[in-house]
Structure formats: structure tokens, C-alpha cells
Amino acid sequence: MNFTIFFILLSCVFPMISFGENAFDYALKGQDSIQQKNFNQAIIELEHALRLDNRNNWIFGLLGRAYYSSGNMEKALTAFRQAVNLDDSDTYSRMMIDIIRQKSLSRSIKKQSKEPTHLEKQAIHEQKLILEKLQASQELGYQIKRIVIDPGHGGFDSGAVGPSGIQEKNIVLELALLLKKILDQKKNYKTFLTRTSDYYVPLSERTTIANQYQADLFISLHINASPNNSTTGCSTFYCAEKASSESAQQVAESENAVIQFDSEKSQSLNNKIDIEEILFFFERKLYWKTSAHLAEKFQKQFQHPLKNLGVHSANFYVLKNAKMPAVLFETGFISNATEESLLKQTQFQLYIVTVICQGLFRL
């Protein structure tokens, strides 16, 4: 019996067997179908590829893209999560997870029908006033349309902890969500978050996310702490090779300390020297100069009850690789019992966000 007849007979007995095509081949077909906008066909091909190889994060990423483009956000989120589970350095899938989460977050905010409390009504009124000021303002010189908001810390990294036990990571997330909510009502801006809930994002990936979103401004939110529990106040930082003061250096060292938990792969990629890195070295100086200007504009808005500690610079890892102006806020001292108490209050959180918004429309 020759081989041609043998394969014909074998395919009749086992019609599901396909010779010569493996998971990679089906994944390529799925990728082509995505490019041709035939998303349902892509899903069929990629699901078949995963039946042959269910440990390939690239295929899961493609499947996430197909489901996302077809409008099935739930299955897209599942696929992207699986891609990240297989390779935690998959920044694209992480970014897509946050995009989907943020869409869901926007929908849930719109669907809220619970009668607001007195404080919430007052907050809503103040948000409207902020938006009216934003609308009326003609002072915006530096054109900012896309903003990435970075709530510091997250997950196992709690950040600073106050005397009563509240954690920096939770307060800055509340600030970030409130800031995003207000700015999203302003048609001029498109905002994104580096994290939408309590999970850790490596420092190197936070600015990578901002770069991928092609942001015009990167804002990193933090709360300060000091061994001296009487220390109070707020400050705005921008990135520089050398710290502007010893205290600024201490703040940078505190915020940079978590870099030890970043994956070796992430760190090695950021330390790799190539022609693009050399060009960016010179470009970065321009971003830092603009950042210093923006930091001054923001910091001028801080008044009572927060003591104005001024503008400072230091080599912050979370800021240094941003391909846009970037600032870092230290919004009070969680180690001070009075400021810790304020930071827990909705009205005070709204005050901080109002300050940032006022600084933004006065740029």
C-alpha cells in the first residue's frame, strides 16, 4: 500500500486528525483573521490552537484581542488574565485587562442609583464647580489630552501605614478613582489608570503603561510618612538625576525601595543600552524640564489645611522612563494622626483632587 492511499484511509477512520498543522499554525491563522477583522473565525482558530497548546501566552493574548474586538469583554478578560498568568511580563495583556476593567468601572458608575448621602451630594456639587472652572478656563498652554494616573503601591506593597492602620495603597487608589471620575466628565481629557484595584504593578511597568497609552502627562499619587509624627504637609516632585535636597533623596529612596520585587526580566529590559535608549537620554531632559514647570503650577494650588512643602526633585524610578512630563504628589503625611484622619475623609480626598484639577487647567 503506498503512502497516499494510507493517509486517505487513515483520514477516513480518524477524520479529526489534521496532519502538518500545529498550534502555531492555527495561531497564525487566527492572527490573520484578526487583521482581516474576521473575529469570529479568529476565535474558532485560536480556540483550536489552545486545544493543542494551552500553555502559550501569545495565543491567549491573540484570543483576548479577538474576543475584545467581537465585543465579548468577559471572555476577553479571561483570556488576557490567562496570558498574564503564563507570563507576568506580558505588559500588553496587563494593559488590556485595565482597559476592560476601566470600561466596566465607567458603566458601574453610570448605573449607580442609590440615594447619595449629604457628604456625597456636597462632593457632587463641588465636582460640578470644578468642571465649570475647567470649562471656563482659557489658561491651558501645554496641551494635555491623555493622562495616566498612577495610584502608588498595591497588592503586597501597602506603602506607608498610619497610626490607626490605614494603608497608603488604599487611599491613593481612592484618590485616583475620584480624579479619573472628575476628569472623564471633561470632554477634553482621556484618562487611564495603572491599576484599578488592589494588586501590585512593578515600577518599570507603570511608565511603560503610560508610554503605551501615549500619554501627555503621567501623575503618580502617594502619601508621605516620617519617623517624626508631628511632620505635616504636601509636596510635588519631578524627576532629576540628583536630588534637590536630602529630604527629597529620602523620599525617592523610600519610593524606589520596592524595585527589589520587580522581576529580573523587567529590570534587565530597562537596563539594556541601545541606540533608542541613548536618544531617549537626551529627550528625557526636555520632559524633566517641562515636568519641573508643571510641578510648580500644581504645587501653587495647595493651601490650608495642608502645609505647602514646595517642589522638589529626585531620581524616582517610577518617573524616569516616562516619555512625557511626569509628576509625583506626596499628599500629606499618613504618619501624622491629624492628617491620617483627614485622608480617610471623602471631603478631604475631594480637596486633594480639586487641587490637582485646578493645577491642570492653569497649566
Task: Spell out the domain ranges in the chain.
Answer: 3-87, 114-361
Return d(Cα 68, Cα 75) in angstroms, integer: 8
CB 327 within 8 A of CB 150: no
- List of residues 6+ apart from 16 with CB closer than 8 A: none
Q: Among the CATH numbers 3.10.20.30, 3.60.21.10, 3.40.50.970, 1.25.40.10, which is that of 3-87?
A: 1.25.40.10
pLDDT at 138: 39
Please determine whether the domains at 3-87 and 114-361 fall in the same fold group of CATH: no
Model pLDDT, residue 114? 57
Q: Look over the chain and give the mean of its residue pLDDT values, rounded to a whole number.
A: 81
- Cβ atoms of residues 315 and 252 within 8 Å: yes
Residue (of 93, 101, 196) closest to 149 by Cα position: 196
| pTM recorded for the entire structure | 0.65
What pLDDT was estimated at residue 255? 87
Question: Domain spanning 114-361 has what CATH number?
Answer: 3.40.630.40
Q: What pLDDT does residue 363 have?
A: 59
Q: Which residues of the chain have pLDDT under 70?
A: 1-21, 103-142, 261-282, 304, 362-363
Angle at 69 between CA 65 and CA 71, to 5 degrees: 120
